[in-house]
């Protein structure tokens, strides 16, 4: 892959003395959807946190647009064009929908285009436009996920990290969420996706990586991995069932 937007090379990461990632390397091409799949506790969320600066690697290199960000502060990573929607959403529940969105535009270049970004967020999520003065904590789970993604795109990222965007949502909203991922890619946003619904994630992923106990054990085009009997046996059955529950 020539000049990937994001390069992760030989990264180790740990929580104190408990190591969570071992020698992880991935590439994310500009304009692609890249999926990270694996069992709970495999290290997927840890990798996203390490890329977005919420954790720093013990070893290895992370480069975004060719520049090292392994020791960069999270707010500077956002300003560089990389936004992270964490598992659990991280909304300010006592603030309104619009106030949450406006907070997402704190990088200087994003503040200058806040009006344009609000229009984009409300066009992507008409429900948020209807509820713009409602407190975020009163939204449904699906609406809160929309708000979390809307807040992230207010920073006008070129790379969006999505951690379990379909978790806890109804099947209808899950379908809408995957359609949204494709829409964002169509608008020029590169996506690095962690997702419990392995079947859906691999269907839309240009490239995918399988994490197992903190190590990359398999990689390839999403649909090729989806057809792999070992992947289907290990992940598709139980995860697909959970996603439909």
What residue ranges define each of the domains in the chain, with the CATH number in brackets? 1-81+157-170+182-245 (3.40.50.300), 91-155 (no CATH)
This prediction has a pTM of: 0.90
Q: What is the pLDDT of residue 2?
A: 59
In this model, does residue 70 exceed pLDDT 50? Answer: yes
pLDDT at 233 over 60: yes
d(CA 41, CA 49): 14
- Quick one: 14 exposed, middle or buried, by C-beta within 10 A (0-12, 13-18, 19+)? middle
| Residue 149, pLDDT above cutoff 50 | yes
SS3 33: strand
Number of neighbours of residue 135 by Cβ within 10 angstroms: 16
| Antiparallel, parallel or unpaired: β 33-37 and 190-194 | parallel
Give me the chain's average pLDDT, please: 92
Using DSSP, state whether 241 is helix, strand or coil: helix
Show Cβ contacts of residue 238 under 8 Å, excluding neighbours closer than 6 positions: none
Quote the pLDDT of residue 237. Answer: 59
């Amino acid at each position: 892959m020539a000049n990937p937007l994001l390069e992760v090379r030989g990264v180790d990461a740990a929580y104190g003395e408990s190591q969570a990632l071992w020698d992880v390397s991935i590439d994310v091409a500009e304009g692609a959807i890249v999926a990270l799949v694996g069992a709970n506790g495999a290290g997927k969320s840890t990798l996203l946190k390490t890329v977005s600066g919420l954790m720093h690697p013990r070893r290895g290199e992370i480069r975004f647009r060719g520049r090292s960000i392994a020791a960069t502060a999270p707010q500077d990573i956002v300003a560089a064009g990389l936004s992270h929607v964490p598992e659990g959403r991280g909304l300010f529940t006592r603030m309104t929908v619009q106030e949450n969105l406006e907070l997402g535009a704190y990088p200087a270049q994003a503040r200058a285009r806040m009006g344009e970004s609000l229009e984009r967020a409300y066009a992507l999520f008409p429900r948020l436009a209807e509820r713009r003065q409602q407190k975020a904590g009163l939204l449904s789970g699906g609406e809160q996920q929309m708000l979390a993604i809307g807040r992230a795109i207010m920073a006008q990222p070129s790379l969006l990290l999505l951690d379990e965007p379909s978790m806890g949502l109804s099947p209808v909203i899950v379908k809408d969420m995957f359609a949204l991922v494709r829409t964002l890619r169509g608008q020029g946003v590169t996506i690095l996706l962690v997702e419990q619904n392995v079947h859906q994630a691999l269907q839309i992923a240009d490239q995918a990586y399988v994490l197992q106990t903190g190590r990359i054990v398999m990689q390839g085009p999403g649909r090729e991995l989806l057809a792999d009997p070992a992947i289907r046996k290990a992940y598709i059955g139980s995860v697909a069932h959970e996603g439909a529950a």
